[in-house]
Each structure stands twice: as structure tokens, then as C-alpha cells.
Amino acid sequence: MKITAKQITTTAILLAICIVSQFFKNLSVYITGPIINACLILAVLSVGMVCAIILAVITPVTAFFISGSPIMAAIPAIIPCVMIGNAILVLGVGLIMKKVKGSGGLIAGMAAGSVLKALFMGVVISLILIPNLIPEAMVPKMGVFQMTFSLTQLITAVIGSVYAFIIWIPLKKVMADGSTK
């Protein structure tokens, strides 16, 4: 598959939005998480799954360098798991939209992708990695970390899905016209 200049540009803009939002991660994951998830979904819709998966892989790395998560520093295996979780969201949206056309397919894809992402991260990160690899000094915060990588992921993915759906309504018209009349 050949990636076009338009796809690269759009992906770069979405990555820039993700990076800017990551500076607010220390304020609340409920600011950053929905923005990142919305950008991942908008990438699927506007430039395709390949570029969206690239974005899904890059954003956890930039998040780590920008916000310096102590749990991710202590358990580096979390980073590839977040990448996979993001890719699951992207694949859920993209694959279901191919099967079910229209808004119904988009909504079903966002719902399935959000739930599957949260389930994957909840099981792998919250129930396997954190309990088995957490440093002794971080044990008192284990419950918070587990919540962050399970229920919080579902909530932020659903909020991001709503943002993406709302943004996509006018954006698809602009993209179809090829202009900003």
C-alpha cells in the first residue's frame, strides 16, 4: 500500500494534536485520553487503518517522554501493551465499519473497539503486569494504577468516540469536497 502526502500530512496533524494534549496528562487522563482516542478514530476515518495504527504505536512513546509516567518507567512492558490496546481500538473501528456501512457501523465499531481495548489492557496490564512486576514502593498505589489501565481506558475511549463522532460529521463533508468553502 502506498501512503500519500495527504495521509502523511493528516497523520502528522493528528500526532501534533496528540502531543499537545499529552502535556495536560498530569492534570487529568480525562483530558488527554479522550483526545488521543478521538485522534486515533479520526485517523481511521480520514487516512485509513495503516496510518491510524502508526499513530497508535507512536502516541504511547510520546506520552512516556512527555509526561514521564512512573508506572510505565517501572514496568516498561506496559508501553507495548498500550500500543496494542490503541491498535485494537483502531482495528475495531475500521473492521466493523467495513462490514456495517453508515453511522451504525461507525458507532458499533467505536463501541466494540472501546470495550475490546479496555478489556485487553485491563487483563494484560491491570491483572497480569502490574500485580506481578510492580516495585514494592509503588504497591500502595497499585489500585490506582489498575484502575487507570482498565475502567479509565473504557471511559476515555468512549468519550473519545463521542468526540470523534461529533467532529467527523462536518469533517467528512469537508474531506469529500476537498475544500474548506
Domains of the chain: 5-177 (1.10.1760.20)
**DSSP secondary structure code for residue 179 in this structure:** S
* pLDDT tens column, 82-114: 999 999 999 999 999 999 988 899 999 999 999
Say which amino acid occupies 68. Answer: G
In the numeric block, the cell 485522534 is attached to 39
Could you give the count of Cα atoms lying within 13 Å of 72 in the half-sphere of its Cβ? 18
Residues making up the chain, counted from first to last: 181
pLDDT for the residue numbered 181: 44
pLDDT for residue 144 is more than 70: yes
Question: What average pLDDT does the structure give for the chain?
Answer: 94
Instruction: Decide if 77 contacts 59 (C-beta within 8 A).
Output: no
Enter the pTM of the model: 0.93
CA distances from 46 to 8, 40, 92, 154, 164 (A): 11, 10, 15, 23, 11
pLDDT for residue 164 is more than 60: yes
pLDDT for residue 28 is more than 80: yes
pLDDT for the residue numbered 69: 86
